[in-house]
């Protein structure tokens, strides 16, 4: 009987790809906010925008740092879903219900 395993590294990359997909329009929106802050010479708004953009760039790091202990597809998927930072990325589209 053949054993079908899950490639944890591939699962991590797929999860990061989904995060990047959600992150892209957020970074674009933040680029606009930053340019407005530059135009108005608002140092506080520029600093806040830089901080938000860095948080968006860093959000995928948790996927690599997160310990995966499960060996089945559902378990790995559920553990990776825990890496989603709703403060940075907003609602996790991978969860069916977020009440």
Asked if residue 34 belongs to a domain, the reply is yes
Q: What integer is the mean pLDDT of 30-43? A: 97
**pTM confidence score:** 0.82
Q: Tell me, what's the pLDDT at 2?
A: 46
Q: What integer is the mean pLDDT of 51-71? A: 93
Asked if residue 74 belongs to a domain, the reply is yes
CA distance 69 to 18: 21
Asked if residue 94 belongs to a domain, the reply is no
Asked if residue 99 belongs to a domain, the reply is no
Q: Tell me, what's the pLDDT at 97?
A: 54
How many domains, the chain?
Answer: 1
Q: Is the dihedral of CA 33, 34, 39, 42 positive or negative?
A: positive
Asked if residue 50 belongs to a domain, the reply is yes
Q: What integer is the mean pLDDT of 32-42? A: 97
Asked if residue 32 belongs to a domain, the reply is yes
Q: Tell me, what's the pLDDT at 4?
A: 61
């Amino acid at each position: 009987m053949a054993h079908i395993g899950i490639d944890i590294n591939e699962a991590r990359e797929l999860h990061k790809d989904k995060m990047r997909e959600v992150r892209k329009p957020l970074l674009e929106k933040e680029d606009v906010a930053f340019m407005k802050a530059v135009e108005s010479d608002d140092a506080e708004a520029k600093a806040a925008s830089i901080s938000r953009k860095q948080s968006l760039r860093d959000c995928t790091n948790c996927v690599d740092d997160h310990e995966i202990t499960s060996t089945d597809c559902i378990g790995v998927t559920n553990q990776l879903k825990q890496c989603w930072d709703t403060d940075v990325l907003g609602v996790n589209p991978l969860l069916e219900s977020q009440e």
